[in-house]
C-alpha cells in the first residue's frame, strides 16, 4: 500500500488526508522529521505560505523537507504548497524585520503569490488539465488568493493554464517528482457534480512509479 504524508503545521490538511484516503492511499499527518522516513510521497497543503514558512523553521523541518524533496519521492503542493516548492518568488512577502519569506524550493519556476489580484481574489473555473484520466472532462478548479507560475525553467511541464487579460498563466505544473497546482482540488472531493479526485490520483500514480524506479525504497520501507 502506498503511504503519503500531509505536512500538518497549518492549512487545509484534513481535506488532503481525505482525498488521499479516497484514492486508496494511506494518509498521515506529518509534524516531525522522523515521520517523513517511510513515506512514498508528501503533500504541502494550501493555507498561508508565510505562516507555513515560519512554522517549518520553528519546527526544524526545513532541511528534512528539502532532503525529502531532493530524494526524488513524489511531492505535491497546492496553492501555498506551490509557493513553498518554488525555487524563486516574484514578490516574496517581507516580515516586520525586513526578511523575505523563504521557500523550500525544488521546483525550478518563479511563482507570484496572490497573483490574480483583488478583482479575482477567489474564483472557480473549468480547466483543461493534461495527464489526468478522462482528459476531455475539465477540472472544476477553486482558486483562493492563489499564486500562478510566472516563469518556468526547462524540464517543467505546464499541465493547465488560465487566460488572464490575454495571457495564459500556468496554474498546474510538473517537474520530475514534483507536482504543483495553484488551485485546491482537495476541497472538492465530496461535492456531487464537481467531485474531483483525479489530481490526487495523478499524485498516487507518481508514487507508484517511484516504487519501481527508486532502488531500495521497498526494502527500507518495510522495516
Ligand atoms: N495567498 C496564500 C499564500 O500566499 C495562498 C492561499 C492558499 O493557499 N489558498 O500563502
CA pair distance 53, 156, nearest whole angstrom:
24
Q: What is the pLDDT of residue 5?
A: 98
Cα of 39 from ligand 1 centre, angstroms:
25
CA pair distance 162, 160, nearest whole angstrom:
7
Q: Ligand 1: does its nearest atom lie under 6 Å from the Cβ of 54?
A: no
Q: What is the pLDDT of residue 215?
A: 63
Q: Ligand 1: does its nearest atom lie under 6 Å from the Cβ of 87?
A: no
SS3 45: coil
Q: What is the pLDDT of residue 32?
A: 97
Q: What is the pLDDT of residue 42?
A: 98
Strands (E), the chain: 3-7, 26-30, 41-44, 74-78, 86-89, 107-112, 122-127, 139-144, 148-152, 157-164, 167-175, 178-181
Asked whether 171 and 141 are in contact (CB, 8 A), the reply is: yes
**Active site residue ranges:** 79, 184, 186
Asked whether 169 and 159 are in contact (CB, 8 A), the reply is: no
Whether ipTM exceeds 0.85: yes
Pairing of strands 26-30, 3-7: parallel
Tens of pLDDT, residues 170-218 = 999 999 999 999 999 988 766 555 678 999 999 999 999 998 887 655 5
Asked whether 124 and 142 are in contact (CB, 8 A), the reply is: yes
Q: What is the pLDDT of residue 189?
A: 66
Extract the annotated binding site for L-glutamine.
47-49, 113, 144-145
Asked whether 176 and 155 are in contact (CB, 8 A), the reply is: yes
Q: Which of 11, 48, 104 to mutate to test the pocket of ligand 1 (most atoms within 8 A of CB)?
A: 48
Cα of 79 from ligand 1 centre, angstroms:
6
Cα of 207 from ligand 1 centre, angstroms:
25
Segments in the chain below pLDDT 50: 219, 222-223
Q: Ligand 1: does its nearest atom lie under 6 Å from the Cβ of 49?
A: yes
For ligand 1, atom 9, name the residue with the nearest CA. 144
* Angle subtended by helix axes 62-70 and 49-58, to nearest 10: 110
For ligand 1, atom 5, name the residue with the nearest CA. 80
Q: Ligand 1: does its nearest atom lie under 6 Å from the Cβ of 103?
A: no
- Containing 138, the helix (H) or strand (E) segment is none
Q: Ligand 1: does its nearest atom lie under 6 Å from the Cβ of 78?
A: no
CATH of 3-107+174-222, one of 3.40.50.880, 3.40.50.300, 3.40.50.720, 3.10.310.40: 3.40.50.880
Q: What is the pLDDT of residue 107?
A: 98
Asked whether 90 and 111 are in contact (CB, 8 A), the reply is: yes
Cα of 121 from ligand 1 centre, angstroms:
11
Q: Ligand 1: does its nearest atom lie under 6 Å from the Cβ of 145?
A: yes
Q: What is the pLDDT of residue 216?
A: 57
Strand partners, 160: 172
Amino acid at each position: 500500500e502506498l503511504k503519503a504524508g500531509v505536512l500538518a503545521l497549518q492549512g487545509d490538511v484534513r481535506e488532503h488526508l481525505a482525498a488521499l484516503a479516497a484514492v486508496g492511499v494511506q494518509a498521515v499527518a506529518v509534524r516531525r522529521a522522523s515521520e517523513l522516513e517511510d513515506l512514498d510521497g508528501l503533500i504541502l497543503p494550501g493555507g498561508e505560505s508565510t505562516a507555513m514558512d515560519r512554522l517549518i523553521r520553528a519546527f526544524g523541518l526545513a532541511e528534512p523537507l528539502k532532503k525529502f524533496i531532493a530524494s526524488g519521492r513524489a511531492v505535491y503542493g497546492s496553492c501555498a504548497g506551490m509557493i513553498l516548492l518554488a525555487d524563486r518568488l516574484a514578490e516574496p512577502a517581507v516580515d516586520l524585520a525586513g526578511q523575505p519569506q523563504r521557500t523550500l524550493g525544488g521546483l525550478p519556476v518563479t511563482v507570484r503569490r496572490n497573483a490574480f489580484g483583488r478583482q479575482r481574489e477567489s474564483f472557480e473555473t473549468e480547466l483543461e488539465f493534461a495527464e489526468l484520466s478522462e482528459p476531455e472532462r475539465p477540472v472544476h478548479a477553486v482558486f483562493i488568493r492563489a499564486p500562478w507560475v510566472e516563469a518556468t525553467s526547462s524540464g517543467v511541464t505546464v499541465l493547465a493554464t488560465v487566460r488572464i487579460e490575454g495571457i495564459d498563466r500556468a496554474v498546474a505544473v510538473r517537474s520530475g517528482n514534483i507536482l504543483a497546482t495553484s488551485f485546491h482540488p482537495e476541497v472538492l472531493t465530496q461535492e456531487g457534480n464537481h467531485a474531483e479526485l483525479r489530481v490526487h490520483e495523478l499524485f498516487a500514480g507518481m508514487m507508484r512509479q517511484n516504487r519501481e524506479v527508486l532502488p531500495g525504497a521497498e526494502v527500507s520501507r518495510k522495516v
